[in-house]
Structure 1
Amino acid sequence: MSFHDKIWFQDSPLKWLFWPFSFIFGLIVRLRRFLYARKILSSYRSRIPVVVVGNIMVGGNGKTPVVIALAEELSARGFRTGVVSRGYGAHPPMLPYEVTPDSPAAEAGDEPLLIKLKTGVRMVTDPRRSRAVQYLENDLDVILTDDGLQHYALERDIEIAVIDGKRRFGNGHLLPMGPLREPVSRLGKVNYILNNGGAMPGEYPVRLVPGRVCRLNGDPADLPAGTEVCALSGIGDPERFIRTLKETGLCPARRIAVPDHGFVPADEARRVAGDLPVVMTEKDMVKYGRKDLPGFYCLGIRAEIAPEFYDRLVSDIRHIQKERGIS
């Protein structure tokens, strides 16, 4: 467990060392919201419905599987759906950048590339999400933004907050004293709260269901239950991947430490793993070029959300379309 995790999720008294910085951060957060709310800072309103999927806490909350599930469900219900993202850590040759199935992960970013591969919908990255929305909006019915709850330069019609039901909000303090980007009270202003792992009243439960183990090129693989493996997970909450491996019957005997969005070369991963199979997340898989590397596997997950959530979301989107005269 990292130093920050001990402070944020074990409520160490060391957190008070960061109180002055957290106080200043809170002032900045409130001032920024005030300036956008009073139209002192400008924001872009799209002609089509924009649905923001984000969170108020740093680290992994299961947001990407939720975005994938939403894009698939809205597409299945007849909406021409697109996704925009900041493209964290990516180095695209131009902006906006439209992700294709053949895009290198270094250009597209790991999460945008994974979303494109899993859903097939149009996927565009740009640190200025409003510019990405303008690039897409004339060809689509609805746009999802992957993260961006705090990106107020883009107006949104529907806000969906994803929270981790096990970690909740840590010690409940703002960065860097705690793990929060905005106060917990911010959730009172969103349209939906999706809870990954233990929903409370007013929250829709999300269940992350593991898929089957595959080779990095997508071919099915057979790792029998009880197999000892080396876990590789460059995600915000690596402990969640360890739990998922155990749910499938695999035994994570070793781990490869990777920062969120990070990358470990295959030869380095093999050195740490020894003779154990290396099993990684799909988010990590895309960084290896989806090539069949002997001894390397990935385990995907999908987000299951209650049908009544989708029914209500679709109703809200259609209502917005009607208000704007969009057929």
Structure 2
Amino acid sequence: MHSRFKFKAEDFEQYFLDLMAGRRRNWYDRVLTDVLFIASRFYRMAIQFRIWMYDKRVIRNHALGCLVVSIGNLSCGGTGKTPVVEVFARTLSSQGRRVAILSRGYRSKKRSLGYKLMHMFQSQKIEIPPKVVSDGKDLLLESDYAGDEPYMLASNLRDVAVLVDKDRVKSGIYAVDRYQTDVIILDDGFQYLMLKPHINIVLVDSTDPFGNGHVLPRGILREPIKNIRRADYIFLTKSDGSHKLRHLKNFLRRHTRRAEIIECTHRPQYLVELFSGGRREPLEKLKGAKVAALSAIAAPASFEGFLEQLGAELVLRDHYADHHRYTQQEIIDFVNQAKAAGAEFIVTTEKDAVRIPKLERCDVPIYYLRIQIDILSGQESFDQCISRICFM
């Protein structure tokens, strides 16, 4: 029953994504598109009113007594935010700062009622503490309770605490008290106005910056494009280093003169075998190989494009809704399909890898593609940003 409900919810989500992209052409789709457009006008007004309330101090935001760096988007997903959060956390930690990442843990499992009751009986505090994915030394939660991105960050970062809670004021106070944190990275924090950031970093996908330009639910934007003026730094992700981005930069400059613009690319590093204790393979393994691609991310075409650019022949590809949590049967079925299609191995994303259940037997090896950020232009601005954080 739960699995059937999950698929219906994902199909519903995909239907609305198709509507936003204009891929639905029936008359009732056009009617619904008009309804979504009207709803997006009201949503836009509500967003702007909320921001005005914070600007005028009608609603007060909180300070934590440490430096807060917000990294977020204007759009819903697909900008490649997690590798950017990782590179900031790793760089700041290497500079001697005590770093904690605060995430809301999108689609992570909630704690059981038993845990909450036990905490209330064992502690004098009624408030439930945040979920600690990593204390900087040990990985303390599985991916289903942590959420995909927090688990991935905690797995890749040492000496960085990773905490999950919808109330990031609470988790920030906890990080400062428990771990003596002096820099907090607010993951997906551009719309989280309850914490006032000292530095606002906004990511823009250079391959599809703003979708159709509409806010939710008619488009993919969480707030109007003009609000990018709140940014101190703008990262153009998935850049290819070409001069085509000149128009995008000029467009952004019309909305903000003060923000530094940094171009970066998500560059594949190596393959990691999923069920073999993390054994690495060079990217040359993909050249001329018959590969099956599996993903459940916001931009699967980008991932599949990487594989093809590296010389793989994709004999099978399948993608689910973003953040889909695979069942064992789904993976077994895909392995069998990959085998039948003649695939030498399966490749998935690092974010998907944390959601794939372990198989006792796997007839086709499964790898994930490790991605890291490279700065293409604006390295001085990036270094300045790091220095600004370190010496604030």
Task: Provide the TM-score with structure 2 as the length reference.
Answer: 0.76
Describe how 1:113-262 pairs up with structure 2 within 5 A.
113-120=151-158, 121-138=160-177, 139-198=180-239, 199=245, 200-201=248-249, 203-216=261-274, 217-221=277-281, 223-262=285-324
Sequence identity percentage = 28
Partner of residue 304, structure 1 = 374
What secondary structure does 2:354 align onto?
Answer: helix
Number of matched residues? Answer: 320
Mapped partners of 2:164, 2:268: distance in 1: 27
Mapped partners of 1:213, 1:64: distance in 2: 18
Mapped partners of 1:47, 1:105: distance in 2: 30
| 1:292 Cα deviation from its structure 2 partner | 8.7
| 1:272 counterpart = 2:334 | yes
Measured at CA, do residues 290 and 313 of structure 1 come closer, stay the same or move farther in structure 2, by a change above 3 Å? farther
Q: Does 1 or 2 have the higher relative contact order (CA < 8 Å, sep 6+)?
A: 1
* Per-residue deviation, residues 126-149 of structure 1 (Å, max 9, x unmatched): 001111111112412211111021
Mapped partners of 2:379, 2:262: distance in 1: 10
| 1:291 Cα deviation from its structure 2 partner | 7.9
Measured at CA, do residues 74 and 298 of structure 1 come closer, stay the same or move farther in structure 2, by a change above 3 Å? same
Contact conserved, 1:218 with 1:290, CA < 8 A, in 2? no
Task: Provide the TM-score with structure 1 as the length reference.
Answer: 0.90
What secondary structure does 1:261 align onto?
Answer: coil
Partner of residue 143, structure 2 = 105
Taking only aligned residues, the RMSD between alpha carbons, in angstroms, comes to 2.4
Measured at CA, do residues 147 and 279 of structure 1 come closer, stay the same or move farther in structure 2, by a change above 3 Å? same
Contact conserved, 1:209 with 1:301, CA < 8 A, in 2? yes
Specify every segment of 5 or more residues in structure 2 that has no aligned partner in the other structure, as ranges: 1-12, 112-127, 240-244, 250-259
Measured at CA, do residues 34 and 150 of structure 1 come closer, stay the same or move farther in structure 2, by a change above 3 Å? same
| 1:62 Cα deviation from its structure 2 partner | 0.6
Mapped partners of 1:73, 1:289: distance in 2: 32
Measured at CA, do residues 159 and 290 of structure 1 come closer, stay the same or move farther in structure 2, by a change above 3 Å? farther
For structure 1, which segment, 283-292 or 62-71, has the greater mean C-alpha deviation from structure 2 after superposition? 283-292
Q: Which amino acid aligns with 2:164?
A: T
Contact conserved, 2:132 with 2:140, CA < 8 A, in 1? no
Partner of residue 10, structure 2 = none
Mapped partners of 2:18, 2:131: distance in 1: 38
What secondary structure does 1:287 align onto?
Answer: coil
Q: Which structure dedicates a bigger proportion of its chain to helix? A: 2
